[in-house]
Structure formats: structure tokens, C-alpha cells
Amino acid sequence: MELRHLGRTGLRVSRLGLGTLTWGRDTGEHEAADQLKAFWEAGGTLVDTADVYADGEAEYLLGRLLEGLVPRRDLQIATKAGSVPDPNRRFDGSRGHLLAALDASLERLGTDHVDLWQVHAFDPVTPLEETLQALDIAVSSGRARYVGVSNFCGWQLAKAATWQLASSGAHTRLASTQMEYSLLQRGVEREVLPAALDLGIGLLPSSPLGRGVLTGKYRHMTPSDSRGASELAAFVAPYLDEEASRIVDAVAIAADGLATSALHVALAWVRDRPGVTAPIVGARNARQLRTALSVEALSLPDEICQALDDVSAPVHRYPDQDWSTL
């Protein structure tokens, strides 16, 4: 699999990442092992997890698999910290919480460092400089090699990166930002992606298949074994409206014309967008994952990309609209 630099850093990662959101919850050890092995054999290197996935079981499971299945040196492990199971405070970006969470993650993963450590979301209560100081400590202590953020909007990302550049002392630059991005969700193009491109921060798209909708599985019915028929139905529902249906139909038409699948068209589109380093792909089983990984050989023709851009274009008016056209 082709490798790409993560933002403006020396870290090179596979241009598809493996997500572990369901590991330890819906995905057991045997199935997780099959997925990790398939990913590694395809040349994949970036594995993304978080301390709150299955209450830590995803990290614990990944750590066990690293003991004997795949060499640790062959993978870049990315995890996150900052989310808390507290209805009164969803995120905690304090230095104490973050560093304690990192230590717990390292213990579950059975490693002395992670390759990418990410703040899971912006904490409006904790001063941002305190959160960023925790990232500096993680890198200077050797517990993390690179750092990033997740679910930061445009101004939050720009503020964080600018503070690192402008404040006194040596600070660890943000390498990445992880955000949902697909043909069904292009909101990051409004401010996050332009900021990331300008600041040299790599984008790691989550849900690159529009929560599974872009595969076309929901075009005529809701499969009984899908997320849309499970307790995650509310997660899928926003992408089952008329506008989304138009986009899914266009993807299916493009797939027919290229003699490939809708999954491959949708994944290739987001993988090759400017500023994108590696979409994070989650799968129900190893067979699904192998299907997604086989997109490696596909590059969409320019005319197909343009048609998909047009049909899925978000409406960005003031202040984004070109003033020369007003």
C-alpha cells in the first residue's frame, strides 16, 4: 500500500487506516485478529483506536494481538484521550486527565509509546494552552511520537496550531486532525480543511463511507445485519434522506461505468482529496475489510471526480462566497 507523510512531518503512514471502534464490543478477538492480519498483509500500517472504545477493551484487544500476531515495529498505533463517561462533562482536556489516560492506554496496549496521540475533542472548560502542554509532555517524555486532534472545528484547530507557533518555548506541532469526511459529509471543506492545508496538518477522515450508506446497501431496504437495523440506527439515519439518496445513486452510476463497486468509488474519492492523508476504515469482518483494501489500485478519472463533486457539493455562502461574484 502506498505510504503518505502525515501532514508536514516525517511520519509516513499507509493511505488507508484501520479503525477499531467496534473491537471488544461487536468484534471479538478472533475476528479482530483476522482484520489486523489482513490489513498488515495488504501493507497497511496505521491503526486507529481510542481509550473509550468499548471502555478500553479495543486498546486491550489490540495490545494482545501485537504480542504475537503482527510485529509492533510494522504498525503506527494512534489512540485518543479526552472523552469521559460523564453526562455533565463529555470531554476533559485537562493536563492531569490526558496524561493519566495516556498512561492507561499504554498499559492496555502493552507498549511504551504510541505513534500518534490525539485529543479526542475540544474541551471548552479547560484552557487550550493546558491541553496543548499535555501534548508537549507526552512527546518530550517519549510516550508519544506525534500528536494530533480530533473533532476540532476550524477556529479551534487554527487557534491550537497558532498558539504552538506563537508562544515562547519549543512546542510539538500538530501532525493531524481526525474528522468525519465523505461524499455525504463535506462540512470540513468549509473551514477545517483549508486551515489544515495552510498549517501543514494531515486530515484523517473518519466514516469515509458515510456511515456505510455510500456502499449502496440502504438504497432499497435496510439489511437486517446492518448498523441501520441495530442500536446504531440513529447514527445512520441522518444519511438516509432524499439528498443523500441522490448522491448514493450518482456513486452507483459511477461504479457501474467503471466496472467497480460503489464502496470503491466513494473510498477512492475521499482518499485522494487534497489534504487527506488516510481515511480510517472500519469493517464488520475481515472479508469486508479486504474488499475495502482492494481499492488501492483504483484512481478515479477526473471527469468522474468532477461529477461526484458537483452532485455532492455543499452550499457555502457568506462569508465563504467569492465577493467578486456578489
Length of the chain: 326
Residue with cell 474541551: 123
Going through 224-290 in order, the beta strands assigned E by DSSP cover: 280-281
Q: How many CA atoms lie within 13 A of 277 on its CB side?
A: 28
The answer to whether 281 touches 208, Cβ cutoff 8 Å, is yes
Residue listed under C-alpha cell 481509550: 51
Q: Among 161, 218, 156, 163, which residue's Cα sits nearest to residue 188?
A: 156
Short-list 94, 171, 107, CA closest to 137: 171
Residues annotated as catalytic (active site), given as ranges: 53
> What's the CA gap between 195 and 237, in Å, rounded?
30
Q: What are phi and psi of 106, to 5 degrees?
A: -60, -40
What's at 194, amino acid-wise? P
Report the C-alpha gap between 58 and 203 in whole angstroms.
23
225 and 177 Cβ atoms separated by less than 8 Å: no
d(CA 307, CA 114): 40
Angle between helices 242-258 and 262-271 (to 10 degrees): 100
